[in-house]
């Protein structure tokens, strides 16, 4: 390698060039493109200069629609601007994309291309989003590797400047945007030669300028519009040659030559595949392995729009007889997918047969075996057309059969797999390992990280490759030389070794150092595989070593040391020295002590690594029978369990319920057991307040009431129930396997009646939990609308995938305890749709009558409107039932007791509780009546039958519209505002984490001034938007600002909001891991208390009905702040970190934040007085 190489991911490569060649960027977060915006924002905050010597001006907008609009304006002014996006984000930009190309404005959109939400959201990569913009007039340029992203980003920027045609430069989300690979970086100074300053000056002078004004964006009639559309043809006609010219110039700079269509394969190829993006690599590997005997080849399409037939035909070998076009998108109902249609048109006048197929949707892996299946299909006399590859389609039988995986990575490449926990540092350590190896050797490295959907305790699998030859292979490791399992519980859950090569290394982190312990604890299937594959097996008790050296729980450095010692990627001694140097560099900021502990950890790890000499008879171990599953629901057996074992790829199409529906209550089958410690209850000191149950984010601790006569399990201790005369026993029961170990319950208990105990000492509680949840439910003794009483109602949100200690879930859980069986939820995209609806986990569940929240997610931006639509739809259906019942009553027929019931129901039509009560009675009476009175009066009978059919509409719905602050304050604000103004009876709950939590913590308009968030690296400049106050201005909206730290106020407001016959808005303070609460999420309720006491979070409620009864509608429930804001700022790194990164800004902005809070306090006092004075 003669050039300087660096390991980086695709997003960094794109952002590096975009930043260098732009003056402005307009950004909005969307996975997996957000890191590009984050890097641009950070570089700008750090004062990094672009190619033109200027700091790029980066602006976060309220949505991608906003970003595209602002970008359009900036381009109209003659500025070089860029943006980054994906999926729905790109779709929101569509209208402006037409405008931008129509006005011939040069720009580049960098797109980490991703699936589009349809039957489900998917954050993973394919080309669906980009293919949805192929009519916009943007040039579409595709990159297929991290190196290509850097190179073709340059091609896109220079080409747009020189051609006036805007570009969309895209690469597959996650697979390429997040893959780390060794690439040659292009430095800014090298780009100077490519830039034509005169052309850039022309772009500037074409901009809107009153000194030489022009008008654009007119409206035109049928006489001229068409001609003007056609007038830009020449720019498109010239574009392909221009792009090729830029590619040639970039090649001179980098030595890497690209063509618009690159051909790879034998010169006399008869069968070729056409593909775009990273899918080319496995096909190329197959060609280099088998190409010499098979006449096969591949065309990589780089410039997809405009599609140059001339260049395509030039790239096509004359010998080709058959073409298979692979598309990474699906266009339901079309004759074929888009690339297929283009290629078919291009070869129209030849004798070549063209077939099409789909692969890799939503990042489905595309492996060499699949690539081979594609070539094999093409070989058939009658190849399968319009096929899929990578799935088993046993419904329409369109899928290709895949044979065994083949190893096509360059010889000598070391392939390593690491099984870690989502947040245990494994991924960070592996990224570090790549850096150490790439920076210090001539080896190439590649890293890809796959995660499960759980926000805490989910699994992460790191796929690392190293070798002396360049590594492309953009697919998961199929043949590993080294496998490490960082978590002992995985031995029972996953098939850890199915990708292990014969004779490879397997390292387990477990306390079982001896063969006896391993004999006892390893499942026989794992033992069988170890022996069968002749693995070199090592065990290390990394957790004990971490404890011993003072790194409690942090095993990543230890496991990394083991990797360097065993893997042979580097000489062991050299590797360990490098690791120690990295420790010094990385941790010196944290103090000498931390450096010392980590170095000790490294030394101890080598000393305490045990090679396990297992008996060869392990090969005889049974591959055990699958656990008994006959009693499980079909969805759990056929979908949930295979997915939980990471075998979802193997589920055939026929097994899935259509349209992405899932039944409620599936997450209770998860039983992850991820907590190290779980709470243990002391009945002697417990005062039965039920606070622990209220705050638990995962519904893993609940109070139960038991008849003393009931036979209980041995350790099921109880105490006499307080506050009732009935002779009942009380118990707080934890579910150890559902608890995340956050300790929020322990920290909230006012009498210290809970303490955390190691999970292994609490195993008997599993049986206790199973016993408790099957007890008869007694929720009739205490008022449902109270802290204590609400907790005897089954939470219909249980065991979600939220982070340990999450501040959002307790509110929604409480809502389900108050109204769950009648709830309908429209949920915005955000954390609440991810912890609430990640297939196949449904944490929303049903009560014993199978009633529970009906939940749906539309999009991020439209949730308020979606919820309004649902509410109006249901209202409409209920009204039609009302008409039928009225018709019946007016007929004066003799319907016995039903008459009174129906009249009662009409009078309580909009009463949540009463309509439900009457609904249940009517259902029984009506059913009996119909049984007994068949055919007496045909008309009446028909009417009754019709009413009976609609019986599920008798009870009123509790309509909730739920989402985060990113939705409510920013992207969805327009819709939310409209719904507030509509006067309709809907309830809106804003889970205010003050950042976009789900996408990694970007700033929203709810972020407080000085708060450090992504996209606000220097601390937010402006003050938090006062959404509550804005809503009160309608004067007919119920508004409340609440916190879990004041439960009485919270419940009161939720109940009032539900009852209010009009729109209501509840803004709920929701601490999040992104706040960096220094004492951990286990103290987030205390942190909320502090927020209230410092005045940081206000409590108020505004009830328009109070006017009617002569009461002040605006009640400011907060007391005068009694603690200094500094106490809170010190506690949370989102504030304190600014003191380190930008100390001067920090002091200024913290003071301004203090002023903001003081001003708000005064404003609320005045408002309250104003309303009061109006009453007099
Ligand atoms: C149009 C569009 N843009 C961006 C996204 C990506 N996205 C999904 S959730 C989210 C942030 C959600 O933040 P917030 O509403 O505050 O909810 P939280 O995650 O904090 O609960 C973003 C930006 C999207 N899904 N759709
Ligand atoms: S430790 Fe956390 S998850 Fe476990 S029961 Fe307590 S609050 Fe719930
Ligand atoms: S809101 Fe924060 S704490 Fe809760 S699940 Fe999302 S990221 Fe985790």
State the DSSP code for 374. Answer: H
Q: Is 388 in the pocket of ligand 1 (CB under 6 A)?
A: no
Condensed to tens digits (0 to 9), the pLDDT of residues 897-914 reads: 999 999 999 999 999 999
H helical segments located in 1094-1142? 1105-1108, 1125-1131, 1133-1141
State the pLDDT at residue 4: 80
**Binning pLDDT at 50, 70 and 90, where does residue 425 land?**
confident
pLDDT at 625 over 60: no
- Residue 878 CA to residue 755 CA, distance in Å, equals 49
Helix (H, G, I), strand (E, B) or coil at 1041: strand
Closest CA to 809 of 1008, 635, 622, 997: 997
CA proximity to 107, closest of 129, 136, 75: 75
Q: Which H or E run includes 370?
A: helix 368-379
Question: How is residue 403 written in tokens?
Answer: 């044979």
Q: Are 738 and 689 in contact (CB under 8 A)?
A: no
**DSSP string covering 256-292, please?**
----SEEEEE-TT-SEEEEE-GGGHHHHHHHHHHHTT
> For ligand 2, is residue 1083 a contact (CB within 6 Å)?
no
Single out the residue of 329, 320, 322, 355 nearest to residue 340, CA to CA.
355
Report CA-CA distances (Å) from 823 to 64, 830, 844, 871. Answer: 31, 20, 11, 11
SS3 per-residue string spanning 862-913: CHHHHHHHHHHHHHHHHHHHHHHHHHHHHCCCCCCCHHHHHHHHHHCCCCHH
User: What is the per-residue pLDDT across 791-831, written as a single tens digit (0 to 9) for each?
Assistant: 999 999 999 999 999 999 999 999 999 999 999 999 999 99
Q: Ligand 1 in contact with 65 (CB < 6 A)?
A: no
| Interval between CA 924 and ligand 2 midpoint (Å) | 40
Answer yes or no: is pLDDT of 668 > 80: yes
On whether the CB atoms of residues 985 and 1061 are closer than 8 A, the answer is yes
Query: Where do the H-state alpha helices sit in 124-175?
Result: 128-131, 146-163
DSSP string, 421-470: ETTSSHHHHHHHHHHHHHHHSS-EEEEEEEE-S-SSS-EEEEEEEEESS-
Instruction: Give the Å distance between the CA of 965 and the centre of ligand 1.
Output: 9
Q: With cut-offs at 50, 70 and 90, classify the pLDDT of residue 591.
A: confident
What number does the ligand 2 atom closest to the CA of 744 have?
7
CB of 741 sitting under 6 A from ligand 2 = yes
Contact predicate 536/503, CB 8 Å: yes
Confidence of residue 627 (pLDDT cuts 50, 70, 90): low
Handedness of CA 748, 749, 752, 753 (dihedral sign): negative
Using DSSP bridges, classify how beta strands 57-60 and 81-85 pair: parallel, antiparallel or unpaired: unpaired
Residues with catalytic function: 31, 64, 114, 998
Evaluate whether 294 touches 375 at the Cβ level (below 8 Å): yes
Tell which one of 31, 422, 808, 1001 to mutate to probe ligand 3, the residue whose CB is within 8 A of the most ligand atoms: 808
422-426, 703-707, 841-845, 999-1003: lowest mean pLDDT where? 422-426
- In the predicted model, is pLDDT for residue 1108 greater than 90? no
Q: What is the pLDDT of residues 127-139, one digit of tens each?
A: 999 999 999 999 9
List the residue whose alpha carbon is closest to atom 6 of ligand 3. Answer: 831
Q: CB under 8 Å to 128, separation ≥6 — which residues? A: 87, 113, 114, 115, 116, 328, 329, 330, 361
| Strand, coil or helix: 1150 | helix
- How far is the C-alpha of 171 from the C-alpha of 177, rounded, in Å? 7
Tell the residue nearest (CA) to atom 2 of ligand 2: 742
Q: Which ligand is nearest to the CA of 735?
A: 2
Q: Are the C-beta atoms of 859 and 954 separated by less than 8 Å? A: no
Q: Which two tokens stand for residue 294?
A: 């098979």
| Residues making up the binding site | 686, 689, 692, 696, 739, 742, 745, 749, 803, 806, 831, 1072
Give 583-590's long-range contacts (Cβ < 8 A, gap of 24+).
583/557, 586/432
Nearest CA to ligand 1 atom 25: 860
Please give the annotated binding residues for [4Fe-4S] cluster, written as ranges. Answer: 686, 689, 692, 696, 739, 742, 745, 749, 803, 806, 831, 1072
pLDDT digits (tens, 9 = 90+) for 289-299: 987 789 999 99
Ligand 2 in contact with 679 (CB < 6 A)?
A: yes
Give the strand order in the sheet containing 24-27. 57-60, 24-27, 81-85, 108-113, 167-172, 139-142, 303-305
Q: Smallest Cα–Cα separation from 797: which of 774, 777, 771, 820?
A: 820
Ligand 2 center–CA 679 separation, angstroms: 7
Q: Distance between CA 150 and CA 171 in Å, rounded?
A: 11
Assign 85 to helix, strand or coil. Answer: strand
Instruction: Answer whether 674 contacts ligand 2 (Cβ < 6 A).
Output: no
Q: 1164: which 2 tokens? A: 């609320």
pLDDT at 285 over 80: yes
The pick from 675, 739, 754, 800 for probing ligand 2's pocket by mutation, whose C-beta has the most ligand atoms within 8 angstroms, reads 739
Please state, rounded to an integer, the average pLDDT across all residues of the chain.
Answer: 95
pLDDT tens for each residue of 224-270: 999 999 999 999 999 999 999 999 999 999 999 999 999 999 999 99
Distance from the alpha carbon of residue 530 to the mean position of ligand 1, in angstroms: 44
Sign (positive or negative) of CA dihedral 333, 326, 449, 476:
positive
Q: Identify the residue whose tokens are 């004041």.
A: 1046
Torsion of CA 860, 861, 867, 868, to 10 degrees: 180
What tokens appear for 372 in the block? 């081979």
Residues 751-774 pLDDT 10s = 999 999 999 999 999 999 999 999
Q: What is the pLDDT of residue 1?
A: 38
For residues 97 and 165, the answer to whether their CB atoms sit within 8 Å is: no
How many other β-carbons are positioned within 10 Å of the β-carbon of residue 120? Answer: 15
Indicate the pTM of the whole model: 0.96
Tokens (6 digits) for 346: 């291009």
Q: Mutation test of ligand 2: which of 678, 679, 734, 754 has the most ligand atoms closer than 8 Å to its C-beta? A: 679
831 in ligand 1 pocket by Cβ < 6 Å?
yes
- Arithmetic mean of pLDDT, 699-711: 97
- Ligand 3 proximity of 993 Cβ (cutoff 6 Å): yes
Q: For residue 424, how far is the Cα from the chain centroid?
A: 18
Task: Return the residue matching tokens 């199409």.
Answer: 653
Q: Whose CA is nearest to atom 3 of ligand 2?
A: 739
* Residue pair 381/353 in contact by the 8 Å Cβ criterion: no
Average pLDDT over every residue of 559-569: 93
Residue 167 Cα to ligand 1 midpoint, Å, equals 25
CA–centroid distance, residue 669 to ligand 3 (Å) = 22
- Dist. CA 456 → ligand 2 center (Å): 13
Question: Which CB contacts under 8 angstroms, 24+ apart, belong to 42-47?
Answer: 42/1017, 43/19, 44/19, 45/1017, 45/1018, 45/1142, 46/1017
Output the furthest CA–CA distance in the chain (Å, rounded): 96
Spatial contact of 63 and 971, defined as CB atoms under 8 Å apart: yes
Distances from the Cα of 453 to the Cαs of 457, 485, 741, 800, in angstroms? 10, 19, 19, 11
Backbone angles phi, psi at 844, to 5 degrees: -75, 135
For ligand 2, say whether the CB of 743 is within 6 Å of any of its atoms: yes
Banded model confidence at residue 935, pLDDT cuts 50, 70, 90: low
CA 929 from chain centre, in angstroms, equals 51
Query: What is the Cβ-side half-sphere exposure of residue 550, based on CA atoms within 13 angstroms?
Result: 8
Whose Cα sits closest to atom 7 in ligand 3?
997
What's residue 630's pLDDT? 66
Could you give the CA distance from residue 501 to residue 483 in angstroms, rounded to a whole number?
A: 10
Rounded distance from Cα 644 to ligand 1 centre (Å): 26
Count Cβ neighbours within 10 Å for each residue of 546-560 and write b for 16 or more, e otherwise: beebebeebbbbbbb
Distance CA 794, CA 987 (A): 21
Beta strands of 947-1029 (E only): which ranges?
A: 958-964, 987-992, 995-996, 1002-1003
Q: How confident is residue 475, by pLDDT bands cut at 50, 70 and 90?
A: very high
Pick the ligand that lies closest to the CA of residue 673.
Answer: 2
> What is the per-residue pLDDT across 1121-1145, written as a single tens digit (0 to 9) for each?
999 999 999 999 999 999 999 999 9
Q: Quick one: how many helices (H) and strands (E) in the chain?
A: 43, 37
pLDDT at 624: 67
Contacts of 729 (CB under 8 A, 6+ apart): 705, 706, 707, 708, 718, 719, 720, 721
Question: Is any atom of ligand 1 closer than 6 Å to the C-beta of 1095?
Answer: no
Give the CA count within 13 Å in the CB-facing half-sphere of 203: 27
Q: Could you identify the atom of ligand 1 that is nearest to the CA of residue 991?
A: 21
Q: What's phi and psi for 41, nearest 5 deg?
A: -65, -45
Give whole-number Cα distances, 19 to 30, 47, 53, in Å.
18, 12, 11
């Amino acid at each position: 390698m003669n050039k300087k190489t660096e390991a980086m991911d695709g997003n960094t490569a794109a952002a590096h060039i975009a930043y260098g060649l732009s003056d402005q960027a307009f950004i909005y977060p969307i996975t997996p493109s957000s890191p590009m915006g984050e890097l641009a924002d950070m570089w700008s905050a750090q004062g990094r200069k672009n190619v033109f010597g200027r700091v790029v001006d980066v602006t976060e907008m309220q949505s991608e629609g906003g970003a595209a609009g602002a970008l359009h304006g900036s381009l109209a002014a003659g500025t070089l601007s860029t943006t980054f996006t994906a999926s729905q984000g790109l779709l929101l930009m569509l209208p402006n994309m037409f405008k931008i190309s129509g006005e011939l404005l040069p720009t580049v959109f960098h797109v980490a291309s991703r699936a589009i939400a349809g039957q489900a959201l998917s954050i993973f990569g394919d080309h669906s989003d980009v293919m949805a913009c192929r009519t916009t007039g943007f040039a579409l340029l595709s990159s297929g590797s991290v190196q290509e992203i850097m190179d073709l980003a340059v091609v896109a920027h220079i080409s747009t400047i020189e051609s006036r045609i805007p570009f969309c430069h895209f690469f597959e989300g996650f697979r390429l945007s997040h893959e780390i690979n060794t690439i040659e970086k292009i430095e800014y100074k090298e780009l100077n030669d490519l830039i034509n300053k005169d052309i850039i000056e022309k772009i500037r002078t074409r901009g809107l300028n009153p000194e030489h004004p022009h008008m654009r964006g007119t409206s035109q009639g049928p006489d001229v519009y068409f001609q003007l559309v056609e007038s830009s043809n020449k720019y498109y006609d010239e574009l392909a040659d221009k792009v090729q010219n830029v590619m040639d110039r970039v090649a001179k700079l980098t030595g890497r030559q690209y063509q618009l269509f690159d051909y790879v394969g034998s010169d006399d190829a008869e069968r070729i595949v056409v593909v775009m993006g990273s899918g080319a690599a496995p096909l190329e590997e197959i060609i280099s392995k088998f190409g010499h005997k098979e006449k096969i080849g591949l065309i990589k399409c780089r410039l997809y729009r405009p599609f140059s037939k001339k260049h395509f035909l030039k790239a096509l070998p004359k010998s080709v007889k058959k073409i298979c076009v692979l598309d990474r998108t699906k266009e339901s109902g079309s004759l074929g997918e888009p690339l297929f249609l283009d290629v078919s048109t291009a070869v129209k006048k030849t004798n070549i047969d063209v077939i099409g197929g789909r692969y890799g949707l939503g990042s489905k892996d595309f492996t060499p075996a699949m690539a081979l299946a594609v070539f094999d299909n093409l070989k058939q006399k009658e190849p399968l057309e319009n096929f899929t590859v990578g799935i088993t389609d046993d419904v329409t039988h369109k899928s290709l059969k895949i044979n065994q995986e083949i190893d096509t990575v360059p010889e000598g490449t070391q392939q390593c797999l690491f099984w870690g926990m989502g947040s245990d540092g494994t991924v960070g350590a592996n990224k570090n390992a790549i850096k150490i190896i790439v920076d210090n050797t001539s080896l190439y490295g590649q890293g890809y990280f796959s995660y499960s959907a759980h926000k805490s305790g989910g699994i992460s699998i790191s796929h690392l490759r190293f070798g002396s030859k360049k590594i492309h292979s953009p697919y998961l490791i199929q043949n590993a030389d080294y496998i490490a399992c960082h978590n002992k519980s995985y031995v029972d859950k996953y098939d850890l070794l199915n990708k292990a090569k014969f004779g490879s290394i397997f390292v387990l982190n477990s306390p079982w150092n001896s063969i006896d312990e391993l004999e006892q604890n390893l499942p026989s299937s794992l033992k069988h595989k170890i022996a069968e594959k002749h693995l070199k097996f090592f065990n290390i008790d990394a957790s004990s070593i971490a404890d011993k050296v003072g790194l409690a729980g942090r095993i990543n450095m230890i496991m990394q040391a083991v990797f360097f010692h065993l893997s042979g990627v580097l000489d062991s001694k050299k590797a360990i020295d490098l690791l120690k140097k990295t420790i010094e560099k990385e941790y010196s900021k944290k103090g000498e002590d931390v450096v010392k502990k980590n170095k000790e950890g490294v030394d101890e790890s080598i000393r305490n690594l045990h090679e396990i000499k297992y008996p060869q008879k392990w090969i005889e171990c049974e591959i055990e029978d699958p656990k008994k599953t006959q009693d499980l629901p079909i969805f759990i057996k056929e979908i949930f369990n295979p997915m939980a074992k990471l075998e979802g790829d193997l589920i055939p199409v026929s097994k899935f319920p259509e349209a992405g529906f899932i039944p409620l209550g599936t997450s209770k089958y998860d039983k992850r057991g991820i907590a190290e410690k779980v709470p243990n209850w002391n009945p002697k000191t417990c005062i039965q307040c039920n606070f622990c149950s209220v705050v638990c984010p995962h519904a893993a601790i609940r109070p139960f009431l038991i008849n003393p006569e009931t036979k209980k399990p041995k350790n099921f201790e109880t105490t006499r129930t307080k506050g009732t005369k009935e002779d009942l026993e009380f118990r707080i029961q934890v579910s150890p396997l559902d608890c995340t170990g956050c300790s929020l319950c322990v920290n909230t208990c006012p009498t210290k009646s809970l303490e955390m105990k190691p999970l292994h000492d609490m195993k008997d509680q599993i049986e206790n939990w199973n016993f408790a949840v099957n007890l008869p439910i007694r929720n009739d003794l205490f008022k449902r609308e109270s802290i204590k009483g609400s907790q005897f109602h089954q939470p219909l949100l249980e065991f979600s995938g939220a982070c340990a200690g999450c501040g959002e879930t307790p509110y929604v859980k409480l809502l389900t305890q108050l109204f769950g069986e009648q709830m309908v939820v429209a949920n915005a995209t955000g954390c609440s749709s991810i912890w609430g609806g990640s297939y196949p986990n449904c944490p929303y569940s049903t009560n014993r009558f199978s009633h529970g929240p009906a939940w749906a997610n539309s999009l991020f931006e439209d949730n308020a409107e979606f919820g309004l639509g649902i509410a109006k739809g249901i209202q409409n259906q209920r009204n039609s039932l009302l008409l039928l019942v009225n018709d019946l009553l007016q007929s004066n027929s003799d319907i016995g007791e039903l008459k009174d019931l129906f009249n009662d129901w009409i009078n309580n039509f909009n009463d949540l509780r009463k309509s439900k009560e009457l609904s249940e009675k009517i259902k029984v009476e009506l059913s009996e009546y119909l049984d007994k009175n068949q055919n007496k009066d045909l008309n009446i009978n028909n009417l009754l039958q019709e009413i009976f059919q609609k019986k599920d509409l008798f009870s009123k719905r509790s309509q909730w519209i739920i989402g985060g602050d990113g939705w409510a304050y920013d992207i969805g604000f327009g819709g939310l505002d409209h719904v507030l103004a509509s006067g309709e009876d809907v309830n809106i709950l804003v889970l205010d984490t003050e950042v976009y939590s789900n996408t990694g913590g970007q700033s929203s308009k709810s972020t407080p001034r000085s708060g450090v968030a992504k996209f606000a690296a220097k601390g937010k400049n402006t003050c938090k938007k006062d959404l509550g106050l804005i809503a009160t201005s309608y004067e007919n909206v119920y508004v409340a600002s609440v916190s879990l730290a004041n439960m009485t106020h919270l419940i009161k407001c939720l109940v009032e909001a539900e009852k209010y016959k009009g729109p209501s808005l509840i803004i709920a303070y929701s601490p999040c891991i992104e706040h960096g609460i220094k004492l951990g999420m286990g103290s987030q309720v205390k942190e909320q208390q502090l927020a209230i006491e410092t005045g940081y979070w206000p409590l108020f409620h505004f009830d328009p009905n109070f006017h009617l009864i002569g009461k002040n509608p605006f009640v400011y429930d907060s007391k005068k702040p009694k603690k200094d804001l500094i106490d809170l700022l010190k506690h949370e790194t989102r504030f304190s970190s600014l003191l380190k990164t930008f100390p001067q800004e920090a002091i200024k902005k913290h003071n301004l934040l203090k002023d903001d809070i003081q001003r708000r306090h005064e404003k609320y006092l005045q408002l309250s007085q104003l309303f009061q004075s109006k009453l007099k």
